[in-house]
A and B are shown apart, each in its own frame.
Chain A
Amino acid sequence: MNRRRLIQSLACGATIGSGAGQVTSVLSLEALRNIAEAHGLRLGDERLRVLQPVLERRLPLLRTLREMEIDDRIAPTQGILK
């Protein structure tokens, strides 16, 4: 399974809950470890614990980004439009 698939499946499999009015997702350390190992990163528990809450917060944003549909004619731009 490639990295994109892994992150997509992770995003789909995440549990959505709401705490104090804010939407969060829940990831397990084990899931993160598997993702990291799948793309060649061996991360210790300490690094995984740093990552876990940040990724949890960002999953809803990533999910929204992935669901956005863009016209096929739109190419990426860096800097400014010429």
Chain B
Amino acid sequence: MNASEILFRPVTELAPLIKARKLSPVEVVRAFLERIEKVNPKVNAFLTVTADRALDQARQAEKDIAARRYRGPLHGIPYAPKDLIATAGVRTTNGSKVTSNWIPDYESTVTGRLNKAGAILIGKLNLLEFAMGSGQKGLAGPARNPWDLACSPSGSSSGSGAALAAGMAPLTLGSDTGGSIRGPAKSCGVVGLKPTYGRVSLHGVTALSWTLDHVGPMARTVTDVALMLQAIAGSDPNDRNAAAAPVPNYAKALNGGVKGLRLGVPSNYFFDHVHPETAAALHEAISRLKQLGVVQVEVQVRQPGLASSISPVILGAESAAFHQKRLREHADLLDSLVRERLEAGSFYSAVDYIKALRLRTLVMEEMRRVFETCDVLVLPAGNAAPKLEEEIVNTDAPTDPPRAPRPDTFNLANVAGIPALVLPCGFTAGPPSLPLGIQFCARPFDEATLFRVGHAYQSTTDWHKRTAPLNG
């Protein structure tokens, strides 16, 4: 198999070849390293490439597999985490000048589990500074969208989405506090999962907001995302919020079919002001799922905008607490957007914060009620990727003319802690032709149902098989 054949193949196809020793992990790692060398100067997705270490590990994997010590479907497969996930002995920058030389002496639980499963760290990925910056003034400038280099891959897991779309890695990790996995998945035409709060340990993931943060897998197919979640999910003595809930066999769940599954489509708020091209793609996807046997039910989410009102208070207060010392000592090194957000977060009172957490209870109770009437909730994942210069300006600031009203479809899942999956559902007519995404949410710890729906849909479409042109 030549190198270019490896780059866009799903792990579910590479793994059996590696297991059968028809494909060497060394060939796989080399193919991705060459690709990174060739296209990263354009895309800027990787901040660090661990070439020597990756090749050493690939050689070791080759020996282990030859000696019948095959560890499973991730053995010999490269992966890359967002660069706020600690990797022992490998620089972890948080995308910030403040921590640009930090080399952790401990491993995050997620990367530790991927390493244990035999996956091979190939490098660390660009992001918005501390997952909250503009992407412009961070450590290395913005990552670019492989579908149009003048466009943003969205953030904050910008490199995680861009690396997948450009064929620089088959598996990546992102973090999501208000859509930071799902936005890049949508904008880059890949699959991203924000798991249930507590499903995946946050140990070793630099905090933005302890109670809204999630770390999750990204890949080009739903099956590959399921494989990754299988490896990283579960309780962890190093994170007391990591839940002891049993982790099901996701590979088995994938082929469960969707016949009779109740698909909730909100009749209020979430589909308002969606771009007509996006709306058409979403409705087409829903029709496709109905043909596969899902039953569409209309749902109404009461106070649908509440999550987006309370999220800034929770995030603002928690991030200001986390970064208090950095703000005091290194404010001059921070991106101005990070700085102003942290400064403002310091001004929320304890009463504001606790009130937001009480309102959060109401959001959770409302979602519990919604999921009594449906098994999966479908939401837009936003419109197509914006131009880079539109994304990197201060997104908080008023604009003239004012931005079109746009319902927030991401914060709901963070505030309620429910799992949410984004996958591609079409492309804009263009030029440039940009990916569009659809979002599914489910009950807490029911990622398996999301995988069933996502896989059923993806099995009948080819959006995930298209490759980005790297033009622009």
A-side interface residues toward B, CB under 8 Å?
A: 3-4, 7, 19-22, 24, 35, 41, 47, 50-51, 53-55, 57-58, 61-62, 64-66, 68, 70, 74-81
Taking each of B210, B331, B355, B418, which has the highest tally of chain A beta carbons within 10 Å of its own beta carbon?
B355
B366 to chain A, nearest CB (A): 11
Q: What CA separation (Å) do A37 and B117 show in the bound complex?
A: 53
Chain B contacts with A in 181-225, Cβ cutoff 8 A? 196-198, 210-211
Which of chain B's residues have a CB closer than 8 A to the CB of A77?
357-358, 360-361, 364
Q: What CA separation (Å) do A68 and B347 show in the bound complex?
A: 19
A74 to chain B, nearest CB (A): 5
- Known A58-B312, A65-B355, A81-B368; contact A47-B331, beta-carbon cutoff 8 A: yes
Q: What CA separation (Å) do A21 and B400 show in the bound complex?
A: 9
Which of chain B's residues have a CB closer than 8 A to the CB of A75?
358, 361
Q: What CA separation (Å) do A57 and B359 show in the bound complex?
A: 21
Closest to B196 in A: A80
Which of chain A's residues have a CB closer than 8 A to the CB of B397?
53, 57
Q: List 29 A-B contacts (CB under 8 A).
A: A3-B349, A7-B347, A20-B401, A47-B331, A47-B343, A50-B339, A50-B343, A51-B347, A53-B340, A53-B397, A54-B344, A54-B396, A55-B344, A57-B398, A62-B352, A65-B313, A65-B359, A66-B352, A66-B355, A74-B362, A76-B357, A76-B358, A77-B357, A77-B358, A77-B360, A78-B210, A80-B364, A81-B361, A81-B417
Which of chain B's residues have a CB closer than 8 A to the CB of A70?
355, 358-359, 362
B402 within 8 A of A: yes
Which of chain B's residues have a CB closer than 8 A to the CB of A74?
358, 361-362
Q: Is A54 within 8 A of B361, CB to CB?
A: no
Chain B contacts with A in 265-317, Cβ cutoff 8 A? 309-310, 312-313
Q: What CA separation (Å) do A58 and B344 show in the bound complex?
A: 9
Taking each of B210, B331, B359, which has the highest tally of chain A beta carbons within 10 Å of its own beta carbon?
B359
B336 within 8 A of A: yes
Q: Is A51 within 8 A of B398, CB to CB?
A: no
B230 within 8 A of A: no
Which of chain A's residues have a CB closer than 8 A to the CB of B401?
20-21
Q: Is B398 within 8 A of A24, CB to CB?
A: yes
Which of chain A's residues have a CB closer than 8 A to the CB of B339?
50
Taking each of A41, A55, A74, A75, which has the highest tally of chain B beta carbons within 10 Å of its own beta carbon?
A74
Which of chain B's residues have a CB closer than 8 A to the CB of A50?
336, 339-340, 343
Q: What CA separation (Å) do A24 and B343 show in the bound complex?
A: 19
Q: Which secondary structure characterizes the binding site on chain B?
A: helix
B450 within 8 A of A: no
Chain B contacts with A in 393-425, Cβ cutoff 8 A? 396-402, 416-418
Instruction: Identify the 7 closest CB pairs spanning chains A and B, nearest first.
Output: A76-B357, A80-B417, A54-B344, A78-B211, A77-B361, A20-B400, A81-B364
Closest to B245 in A: A80
Q: What CA separation (Å) do A26 and B402 show in the bound complex?
A: 18
Taking each of A50, A76, A77, which has the highest tally of chain B beta carbons within 10 Å of its own beta carbon?
A77
Our pick among B350, B357, B362, B444 for the contact of A78 (Cβ within 8 Å) is B357
Which of chain A's residues have a CB closer than 8 A to the CB of B313?
61-62, 65
- Known A76-B360, A81-B364, A81-B365; contact A64-B347, beta-carbon cutoff 8 A: no
- Known A20-B402, A58-B312, A80-B364; contact A51-B358, beta-carbon cutoff 8 A: no
Q: What CA separation (Å) do A66 and B365 show in the bound complex?
A: 21
Q: Is A80 within 8 A of B331, CB to CB?
A: no
Closest to B445 in A: A80
Q: Is A80 within 8 A of B398, CB to CB?
A: no
Which of chain B's residues have a CB closer than 8 A to the CB of A66?
352, 355
A18 to chain B, nearest CB (A): 10
B393 to chain A, nearest CB (A): 14
Chain B contacts with A in 355-403, Cβ cutoff 8 A? 355-362, 364-365, 368, 396-402
A4 to chain B, nearest CB (A): 5
A1 to chain B, nearest CB (A): 13
Q: What CA separation (Å) do A13 and B351 show in the bound complex?
A: 19
Chain B contacts with A in 140-160, Cβ cutoff 8 A? none
Chain B contacts with A in 310-354, Cβ cutoff 8 A? 310, 312-313, 331, 336, 339-341, 343-344, 346-352, 354
Q: Is A51 within 8 A of B355, CB to CB?
A: no
Chain B contacts with A in 240-258, Cβ cutoff 8 A? 241
Chain B contacts with A in 426-465, Cβ cutoff 8 A? 444
Q: Is A54 within 8 A of B343, CB to CB?
A: yes
Q: What CA separation (Å) do A74 and B313 show in the bound complex?
A: 18
Closest to B316 in A: A58
Q: Is B309 within 8 A of A79, CB to CB?
A: no
Q: Is B361 within 8 A of A76, CB to CB?
A: yes
- 19 new A-B contacts at CB < 8 Å, known A76-B358, A77-B364: A4-B350, A7-B347, A19-B400, A20-B402, A22-B398, A41-B346, A54-B343, A54-B344, A57-B397, A65-B309, A65-B359, A66-B352, A66-B355, A78-B210, A79-B241, A80-B364, A80-B416, A81-B364, A81-B444
